[in-house]
Amino acid sequence: MNEIIKMSATTLAEKIKNKELSSVEVTKAFIKRAKETDPKIKAYISITEEYAINQAEESDKKIASGAETGELEGVPIAIKDNILIENIKMTASSKILENYTAPYDATVIEKLKKAGAVFIGKTNLDEFAMGSSTENSAFFTTKNPWNTEHIPGGSSGGSASAVSAMTAPLALGTDTGGSIRQPASCCGIVGLKPTYGRVSRFGAVAFASSLDQIGPMSKTVEDSALLLNVIAGFDKKDSTSINVPVPDYLETIKQDIKGLKIGLPKEYFIDGLDSDVKKSIEKAIEIYKKAGAEFVEISLPLTDYAVAVYYIICCSEASANLARYDGVRYGFRAECDNLLDEYQKSRGHGFGPEVKRRIMLGTYALSAGYYDAYYGKAQKVRTLIKQDFENAFKKVDLILTPSAPTPAFKIGEKSSDPLQMYLSDIFTISCNLAAVPGMSIPCGFSEKGIPIGMQLLASNFDEQTMFKAAYSYQQATEWHKQFPNI
Amino acid sequence: MKNKYEVVIGLEVHSQIKTETKVFCNCSTDFHSQPNTNICPVCTGQPGVLPVLNKKAVELLVKTALALDCSINKKSVFARKQYFYPDLPKNYQISQYELPFAEHGKLNISADGKIKSIGITRIHLEEDAGKLLHEIGSRQLDCSLADYNRTGIPLMEIVSEPDMRSPQEAAAYLTALKNLIEYIETSDCNMEEGKFRCDANISIRPVGQKEFGTKAELKNMNSISGVEEALEYEVQRQIETVENGGKIIQETRTWDPNEKITKSMRSKENAHDYRYFPDPDLVPVNLDDVFIENIKLTIPELPEKRKERLIQEYGLPEYDANVIISDKALVNFYEDALNNTAKDAENIPKLIANWLTTELLGKLNNAKLTIKESPVKAEYLGQLVSFISKGTISGKIAKTVFEEMFNTNKDPETIIKEKGLVQISDENEIIKICQEAADESPKAVAEYKSGKERALGAIVGLVMKKSKGKANPQMVNKILADLLK
């Protein structure tokens, strides 16, 4: 196996900058790997080979000429296919956008271009990021590189799988209720959902606007910080992005964690928790204790309500956000006789069953006479959930939980039972409701060899503490140095 | 029959806010651009786009709200109003529901010679929709064309209380509102360009009943007179329905300006459920006192105040003042003219008002010009009136001069000089002409001397003829009377 594909983005960036490796050489290595493994994994909707090679050549020229280079100069990255890159197809894994070409760059893409990153391809997802397994993609299901009978998680399953299978050193995902962290956990990589407002949402297809965040996916914690350094920051094109200065996340990442207070919410350590997951988390706690962290049992009493609140809010917002896909101006348009027919057939055939389910749930929840009981009430409980976290972070610096209640399940296992599927997000959704940052880090394997992840949660805009703790853990463990045999 | 019922009317006005760019993106708001040239990913609802609020639109809305005596909400929130239509790219309109920018205002109107105060319920900000084209000229298309240039242009929706009691009051309210907005220049209010649109809610109830009757909402009126006509029709329709034992149903009706009737569009059962909810893409807007106070400073003298000033400062009759303040350009013209008159001249304000409202407006109307396009400059009208007041020219000559001013754009002084129209006020010269005229009219002189005072007219006529109309008429009368004693 080519050693390049095993290198971290941090290492690759250094070697490209020092001219030990050329960007073209690196990009070609990853594309070659993708061409070999993707028929089995199906992480990519499109591999943008020509685009990537052009970018790589540009980077090499820049470096050869001694011009100023970016933090990710020449380093390949895979982009979840619900983020727009100008002139490249963007499907959101939906039939309704199957032939849609992006007319502009998302803000994160602009920033990545400026940083010199090379876009290697667009990755698969659950249609419009609605799902936990990529089984809701209108095109195909992505496989877990550790065991192709298992799901890679979702909705950013393509990005997680791509990084895990070493077809890209970095990827971008989006996380509305765990869509970065849960697949990261499933595929044994690092996935970060930043604080709401930390990264611009401009150019990411909106699913639930008040919950969506774009975030980094990578093999190592250091790479995660490197990528967040590039994409974070206030954007005047996104009114919900927040104007808080962006620290250099790499600068503090290696700091000692002695005395760090970590909370263990009792509501997350429940009877139904998978025993392999439980064991891995317990071992992780021991490692942290050795590093000098202190553990405190805490309570997040409203945890039980999170799933209900989450599905009401995300479906309500989605029902409005997805109204624009009507075949009138762009996207799939069915043969039709009149306007109503056009809407019904284009949307009826253009959207998959899960998307339609959520649009209907959300439409119902916002209807006259139901608004107060559903959306209005859910918003109130959401405020209380936020307060739960605020109170918790008065006592502790971080919260540690499992990322998901079980390791990645088998493809098809839950696809007929939406409620069971919704519960795979049970540990990740509160974080989106509370707007706080969260991160999944690999912390072991199940007996069957499927990766397990642990989740760290921090208070608003305290990604630094989270990185520090995650980095410390990764230094003490070898999980991130293991590669799937694919 | 009509006296048995009281009419209750409330109006919803949509006025395009005069900004250079759209309310949530940077596209131009120019009305005359080619279709689909003022568009971008944001206003065409592409995937992934986000709205960013144009602060200028908020400023102008708040300015309007303050001019309408509204209270400004310190915190306001945008909401999504959801319905599917091809002129609405996102299939929801960003509007406001709870917490609009302004509430609880009022506007005074003149009704039956009295001042009546009409309540303003709220003013909120929203984005306009695009335009659909179903025909080009008289050619019916077999498809519909969509133009998204208008999509995202800021609108202020001004909702009145149901305070109007007749179609005439409704028209008076619209006229006053349009005038006020034009004064403060927050909208062009051009109704032909759809920049000032009105929907009306109307119901009737037996005189003395407190509860409102069931209302109908009227749409598709394209002028103030159209609103008045549609309301007149609707009053009749509702009264006849009730008198014939029928019931008014709550519905939306559309005005057909050709047939001059209203037609049912949709009933309450088929009314849209807009599923309003706060727009998660936009944060609540917080307006502080400094912001509001600074906007207050930009509000010019409003029509009502200005009218009072015209009456008090210049002694204008109320009628003249009303005509002059009905258009900001007109009152500006009036005061410009006034500022260009000689300080020592007499009765100038009323004279200018007369010349402006009868002579100039009459000529402009005939020539289909607005006051802003007047060939006669305000300062020239002021000068003309000064010449009359000082006796440089007579009123009669002034009309000739004015005619020339209108046709040539020249100032009155130049015209008077060029044409030698200066009034003869030199006593000796007038005596000379009068003597000549008397000598040539022995018959008239004899009649006058025998007591027929009317005979003097013929002699005066001859004097004016000899002087080519330039002799000062008052002096001629006096001198002739002296001569013929």
User: Which residue range(s) make up the domain with B321?
Assistant: 303-419
Which tens digit of pLDDT belongs to each residue from A431-449?
999 999 999 999 999 999 9
Q: Is B425 exposed, middle or buried (0-12, 13-18, 19+ CB in 10 A)?
A: middle
Residue B344's pLDDT is 61
Segment B6-26, tens digit of pLDDT: 999 999 999 999 999 999 999
Same domain as B445, residue B382: no
Do A240 and B281 make contact, defined as CB atoms within 8 angstroms? yes
Query: Is the domain of B462 the same as that of B319?
Result: no
Range ranked top by mean pLDDT from B150-164, B203-217, B299-313: B150-164
Domain end position, chosen among B296, B314, B334: B296
Contact B202, B9 (CB under 8 A): yes
How confident is the model over A340-382, as pLDDT tens digits? 999 999 999 999 999 999 999 999 999 988 999 999 999 999 9
Q: What is the mean pLDDT of residues B349-366?
A: 86
Same-domain status, B391 and B473: no
Mean pLDDT, range B416-435, rounded to an integer = 78
Do A368 and B273 lie within an 8 Å CB cutoff? yes
Q: Does domain A3-259+396-481 have CATH number 3.40.50.720?
A: no
**What's the pLDDT score for residue B2?**
60
Q: Quick one: pLDDT at residue B343?
A: 64
Which of B296, B311, B345 corresponds to the end of one domain? B296
Q: Nearest by CB to B275, which of A83, A325, A366?
A: A366
The distance of B286 to chain A (nearest Cα, Å) reads 14
Residues B184 and B233 in one domain: yes
Q: In this complex, is the C-beta atom of A202 within 8 Å of any C-beta atom belonging to chain B?
A: yes
Binary contact (A201, B53; C-beta < 8 A): no
The pLDDT value given to residue A176? 98
Work out the percent of chain A whose per-residue pLDDT is above 90: 94
Q: Note if A80 is an active site residue.
A: yes
pLDDT for B345 beyond 70 = no
Note the pLDDT of residue A434.
97
Task: Report residue B450's pLDDT band, with 50, 70 and 90 as the boundaries.
Answer: confident
CB A239 to CB B283 under 8 A? yes
Nearest CA in chain A to B82: A320
Q: Is the pLDDT of residue B242 over 60?
A: yes
Pair B139, B263 in one domain: yes
Nearest CA in chain A to B271: A368
Q: Quick check: B275 and A90 CB within 8 A?
A: no
Q: Are residues B463 and B332 in the same domain?
A: no
Residues B81 and B209 in one domain: yes
Tell me which chain A residues have a C-beta less than 8 angstroms from the C-beta of B94: none
Q: How many domains does chain B have?
A: 3
Q: Over 90: is that where the pLDDT of A247 sits?
A: yes
**What's residue B419's pLDDT?**
75
- ipTM (interface pTM): 0.96
Q: Give alpha helix (H) positions in A93-220.
A: 107-115, 157-164, 181-187
Of A155, A185, A241, A280, catalytic: A155
Answer yes or no: do B337 and B441 share one domain: no
- On chain A, the residues whose CB falls within 8 A of the CB of B89 are 324, 328-329
Whole-angstrom Cα distance, residue B41 to residue B25? 9
Structure confidence at residue B80 as a pLDDT band (50, 70, 90): very high
For chain B, what is the mean pLDDT?
Answer: 89
CA distance B351 to B316: 10
Q: Which residue of B has its CA nearest to A362?
A: B275
Model pTM score? 0.90
Residue A374 is classified by DSSP as I
The pLDDT value given to residue B443:
84
B50 with A202: Cβ contact below 8 A: yes
pLDDT digits (tens, 9 = 90+) for A58-86: 999 999 999 999 999 999 999 999 999 99
> Based on the domain organization, do B246 and B318 belong to the same domain?
no
User: Which stretch of A160-164, B181-185, B237-241, B318-322 has the lowest confidence by average pLDDT?
Assistant: B318-322
pLDDT value for B366: 86
Contact (CB<8Å) A237/B282: no
User: How far apart, in Å, do the first and last CA atoms of chain A sit?
Assistant: 11
CA distances from A289 to A86, A286, A418, A462, B442 (A): 47, 5, 38, 21, 135
Return the percentage of chain B with pLDDT > 90, whole number: 52
User: Which residues of chain B lie closer than 8 angstroms to A330, CB-CB?
Assistant: 46
Higher pLDDT: B420 or A41? It is A41
pLDDT for B416 beyond 80: no
Residues 113-152 on A with a CB inside 8 Å of B are none
pLDDT of residue B432: 84
Residue pair A433/A306 in contact (Cβ under 8 Å)? The answer is yes
The catalytically annotated residue of A179, A280, A424, A472 is A179
pLDDT at B270: 72
* Chain A partners within 8 Å of B84 (Cβ): 323, 326, 343
Q: B334 and B250 share a domain? A: no
Domain ranges of chain A: 3-259+396-481
* Per-residue pLDDT reduced to its tens digit, B280-290: 999 999 999 99
Residue A122 catalytic?
no
Selected residue with higher pLDDT from B417 and A269: A269
Question: Looking at the complex, does the CB of residue A366 fall below 8 Å from at least one CB of chain B?
Answer: yes
Tokens of A226: 């490197």
Asked if the model's pLDDT at residue B457 lies above 60, the reply is yes
Q: If we measure between CA atoms, which residue out of B454, B450, B475, B471 comes closest to residue B462?
A: B471
Could A324 and B51 be called an inter-chain contact, meaning their C-beta atoms sit closer than 8 Å?
no
Closest partner residue to A209 (CB to CB) among B86, B273, B281 is B281
A175 min Cα distance to partner chain B (Å): 15
CB atoms within 10 A of CB B139: 6
Q: Assess whether A179 carries a catalytic annotation.
A: yes
pLDDT of residue A424: 80
User: How many Cβ pairs closer than 8 A exist between chain A and B?
Assistant: 94
Q: State the pLDDT confidence band at B400, using cuts at 50, 70 and 90.
A: confident
pLDDT in tens, A6-20: 999 999 999 999 999
CATH of the domain at B476: 1.10.10.410
Q: Decide if pLDDT at A29 tops 70.
A: yes
Residues of A in contact with B276 (CB under 8 A): 366
**Does A106 touch chain B if contact means CB atoms closer than 8 Å?**
yes
- Could you say which of B45, B273, B282 has the minimum Cβ distance to residue A239? B282
| Residue B47 shares a structural domain with residue B122 | yes
Are both B123 and B261 inside the same structural domain?
A: yes
Of the listed ranges A3-7, A465-469, B325-329, the least confidently predicted one is B325-329
